[in-house]
């Protein structure tokens, strides 16, 4: 009894630490030795006398969930906060979300196994994820199309779920794969996300006139397009909405939900009264009463000034993104930095510069390419002199400002120069000479190990070099990647490995379009992580999830998809009539 009492005291202490650190929602422990079990503590701390998968009992104020998925046994808490069970436990791979609140470790003993040391992960500031994205009357989407990353009750792959840091918030999925026939709207959905990202970020490339309404219905041209993004930053959820046509913005809003209470940060609406300003703004108390970035104006005056500065084709959030308004920093940074859209033909422009400045990144690329059987042993940094002739050719390609920067470089200085083909080039001043700094691939297998320039590599290898930085970044940062045609130029096994490696990380979110049915595997993705786009007879595309269908757990969904059971495939007429035979 004394040991049990001390165990209760230890748990209460840990609960107190969780409250102090502000991460009551859930805390996690990862295995650093042994590797057979993992614990997740939910809201508060709980303890059940018996645990089978998900523990049904509540003891110290919250549910206790055992991630072993199949562990049955009794738990005893001892004086050193040790945990033991009378049955062997089966872990599931350790890929679930974990947030930690204190610097301590727990020893877990499992009968008939070696002791397993369980230590808290490094504390993270929060979760940055997309919850939902909706668009309407844009491109091929007439009616509202919604991509939801909110998890359903599907029991598969619990490690694909990121648990919230506050009570009452929905759990979020870490992946979504979007299928559909050619011309049915997959890329247009990515384009819609990219449009909203650029508008909300105040991106110079955001061109409102490039927006296209749904053109298969005559009445659509008189209606605006609508975009809504729900996303999570730390413990707060946000809803950002934009209603616009190709000439001016009609409505814009931003709401924040924290501690179960939704509050308005700002709304903007176009007025029809010509005697007044074009837009009416309303600012919420949380924004009006926050600290002003100006020492001369109050926040209320500053916001009024900013609203007058915002043009009709610009978003208020995009203008505020450069003003360091503390209350808007989280949503601004989410659109600018966290959300990354990778088009099918995009290249990672900072590849050479990143590898030159980060040796860990260079090693990661080398190891990844080597394990993918590309024939590359490793990558290395090499430098080549820039001849006078080449410098003259550069002056014909680059603008005057870029050439002026090159000629004014100091000895040892490095400059990244944009390239129209592939990654940016790195120029270094070396005495009176200039050098190109670039990556080279060292190949093995022959009697020598030659070096190849990256443009000599296959298109598939270069595609990997454009995607591997995505995997590397989520090792360090919580980011949301929306990738069009993830499988482009890749063998199906490599595409599968890429998704699997991403989901092995503890953070990050991957949304991708694909045609590769090899990825349509319930051993890789949950049902609510598989989405389909189907074009209707009216020419409008609809978006729906595989979880909308009632299917058996053992169903071969890949076969069912190709047979047309779920839609999202092309209808092919008689080849004889098409002239193919």
Q: In which band, very low, low, confident or very high, does the pLDDT at 196 lie, cut at 50, 70 and 90? A: very high
For residues 189 and 81, membership in a common domain is answered with no
The interaxial angle of helices 459-473 and 359-371, nearest 10 deg, is 130
Which of 447, 464, 481 is where one domain is finished? 464
- Rounded to whole angstroms, the Cα distance separating 270 from 268 reads 7
- pLDDT single digits (tens) 242-291: 999 999 999 999 999 987 889 999 999 999 777 677 899 999 999 999 99
CATH code where residue 323 lies: 3.40.50.300
Q: Confirm whether 492 is domain-assigned.
A: no
Looking at the chain, the number of H-run helices and the number of E-run strands are: 14, 30
For residues 334 and 375, membership in a common domain is answered with no
Q: What is the pLDDT of residue 168?
A: 82
- Rounded to whole angstroms, the Cα distance separating 561 from 557 reads 6
For residues 51 and 181, membership in a common domain is answered with no
Which of 464, 482, 506 is where one domain is finished? 464
- The answer to which of 5-14, 364-373, 516-525, 542-551 has the lowest mean pLDDT is 5-14
In eight-state DSSP terms, residue 141 is: B
For residues 377 and 403, membership in a common domain is answered with yes
Question: Which tokens is 418 given?
Answer: 């944009």
The torsion region of residue 396 among left (phi > 0), alpha (psi -120 to 50) and beta comes to alpha
Q: Confirm whether 508 is domain-assigned.
A: no
Question: Which tokens is 209 given?
Answer: 């006139």
Q: Do 4 and 20 form a contact (C-beta atoms < 8 A)?
A: no
Q: What is the pLDDT of residue 569?
A: 79
Question: Does residue 521 sit in helix, strand or coil?
Answer: coil
H or E stretch at 383: strand 376-385
Percent of the chain at pLDDT exceeding 90: 51
Q: In which band, very low, low, confident or very high, does the pLDDT at 126 lie, cut at 50, 70 and 90? A: low
- CA-based nearest residue to 164, from 261, 255, 233: 233
For residues 115 and 132, membership in a common domain is answered with no
Q: What is the pLDDT of residue 571?
A: 64
Q: What are phi and psi of 181, to 5 degrees?
A: -70, 165
Compute CA distances 202 → 26, 32, 127, 321, 567, whole Å: 35, 43, 23, 7, 38
For residues 260 and 310, membership in a common domain is answered with yes
Q: Confirm whether 174 is domain-assigned.
A: yes
Q: What is the pLDDT of residue 29?
A: 31
**Whether pLDDT at 33 is above 60:** no
Q: Confirm whether 7 is domain-assigned.
A: yes
- CA-based nearest residue to 227, from 258, 257, 200, 266: 200
Q: What is the pLDDT of residue 91?
A: 26
For residues 265 and 169, membership in a common domain is answered with yes
For residues 446 and 395, membership in a common domain is answered with yes
Q: Confirm whether 164 is domain-assigned.
A: yes
Which of 412, 443, 464 is where one domain is finished? 464
Q: What is the pLDDT of residue 93?
A: 27
Burial 526-558, CB ≥16 within 10 A → b, else e: bbbbbbbbbbeeeebbbbbbbbebeeeeeeebe
Q: Confirm whether 509 is domain-assigned.
A: no
As a whole number, mean pLDDT of residues 225-243 equals: 96
- pLDDT single digits (tens) 335-380: 999 999 999 999 898 898 899 889 999 999 999 999 999 999 999 9
Structural domain boundaries enclosing 391: 351-464
For residues 77 and 148, membership in a common domain is answered with no
- CA-based nearest residue to 437, from 383, 385, 390, 394: 383
- Rounded to whole angstroms, the Cα distance separating 454 from 440 reads 6
Q: What is the pLDDT of residue 233?
A: 95
For residues 314 and 402, membership in a common domain is answered with no
Q: What is the pLDDT of residue 193?
A: 98
Q: In which band, very low, low, confident or very high, does the pLDDT at 164 lie, cut at 50, 70 and 90? A: confident
- pLDDT single digits (tens) 412-450: 888 877 665 666 678 888 787 888 888 999 999 888 989
Residue 22: count of CB within 10 angstroms of its CB: 13
In this prediction the pTM is: 0.75
Q: Do 354 and 238 form a contact (C-beta atoms < 8 A)?
A: no
As a whole number, mean pLDDT of residues 481-502 equals: 96
For residues 459 and 311, membership in a common domain is answered with no
As a whole number, mean pLDDT of residues 65-77 equals: 30
Q: Confirm whether 73 is domain-assigned.
A: yes
Q: Confirm whether 311 is domain-assigned.
A: yes
- Number of domains the chain contains: 3
In eight-state DSSP terms, residue 575 is: H
For residues 204 and 97, membership in a common domain is answered with no
Q: Do 442 and 434 form a contact (C-beta atoms < 8 A)?
A: no
Q: What is the pLDDT of residue 564?
A: 87
């Amino acid at each position: 009894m004394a040991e049990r009492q001390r165990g209760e005291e230890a748990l209460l202490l840990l609960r107190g630490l969780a409250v102090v650190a502000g991460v009551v929602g859930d805390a996690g422990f990862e295995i650093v030795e042994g590797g057979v079990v993992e614990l997740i503590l939910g809201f508060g701390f709980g303890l059940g006398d018996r645990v089978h998968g998900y523990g049904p009992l509540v003891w110290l104020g919250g549910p206790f969930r055992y991630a072993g998925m199949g562990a049955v046994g009794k738990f005893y808490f001892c004086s050193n906060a040790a945990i033991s069970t009378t049955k062997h436990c089966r872990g599931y791979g350790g890929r679930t979300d974990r947030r930690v609140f204190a610097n301590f470790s727990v020893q877990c003993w499992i009968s008939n196994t070696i002791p397993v040391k369980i230590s808290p992960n490094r504390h993270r500031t929060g979760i940055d994820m997309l919850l939902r994205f909706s668009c309407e009357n844009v491109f091929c989407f007439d009616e509202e199309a919604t991509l939801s990353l909110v998890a359903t009750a599907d029991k598969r792959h619990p490690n694909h779920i990121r648990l919230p840091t506050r009570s009452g918030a929905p759990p979020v999925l870490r992946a979504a794969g979007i299928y559909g026939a050619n011309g049915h709207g997959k890329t247009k959905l990515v384009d819609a996300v990219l449009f909203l990202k650029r508008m909300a970020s105040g991106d110079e490339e955001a061109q409102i006139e490039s927006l296209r309404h749904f053109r298969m219905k005559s009445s659509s041209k008189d209606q605006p397009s609508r975009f809504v993004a729900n996303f999570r930053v730390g413990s707060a959820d946000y809803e950002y909405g934009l209603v616009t046509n190709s000439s001016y913005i009609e409505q814009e809003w931003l709401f924040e939900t924290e501690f179960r209470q939704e509050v308005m940060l700002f709304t903007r609406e176009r007025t029809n009264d010509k005697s007044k300003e074009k837009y009416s703004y309303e600012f919420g108390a949380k924004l009006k009463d926050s600290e002003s970035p100006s020492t001369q104006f109050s926040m209320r005056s500053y916001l009024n000034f900013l609203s007058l500065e915002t043009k009709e084709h610009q978003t208020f959030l995009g203008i505020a993104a450069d003003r360091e308004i503390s209350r808007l920093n989280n949503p601004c940074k989410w659109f600018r930095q966290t959300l990354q859209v990778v088009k099918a033909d995009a290249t990672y422009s900072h590849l050479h510069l990143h590898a030159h400045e980060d040796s860990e990144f260079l090693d990661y690329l080398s190891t990844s390419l080597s394990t993918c059987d590309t024939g590359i042993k490793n990558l290395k940094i090499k430098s080549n002199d820039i001849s006078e002739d080449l410098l003259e050719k550069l002056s014909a390609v680059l603008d005057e400002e870029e050439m002026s920067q090159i000629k004014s470089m100091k000895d040892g200085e490095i400059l990244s120069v944009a390239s129209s083909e592939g990654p940016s080039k790195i120029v270094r001043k070396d005495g009176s000479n200039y050098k190109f700094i670039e990556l080279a691939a060292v190949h093995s297998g022959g009697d020598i190990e030659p070096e190849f320039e990256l443009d000599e590599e296959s298109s598939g290898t270069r595609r990997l070099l454009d995607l591997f930085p995505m995997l590397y970044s989520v090792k360090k940062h919580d980011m949301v990647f929306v990738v069009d045609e993830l499988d482009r130029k890749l063998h199906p096994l490599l595409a599968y490995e890429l998704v699997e490696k991403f989901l092995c990380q503890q953070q990050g979110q991957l949304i991708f379009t694909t045609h590769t049915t090899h990825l349509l595997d319930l051993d890789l993705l949950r049902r609510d992580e598989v989405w389909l786009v189907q074009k209707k007879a009216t020419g409008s595309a609809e978006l729906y999830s595989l979880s909308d269908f009632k299917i058996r757990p053992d169903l071969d969904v890949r076969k069912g998809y190709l047979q047309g059971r779920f839609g999202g495939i092309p209808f092919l007429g008689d080849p004889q009539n098409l002239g193919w035979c």
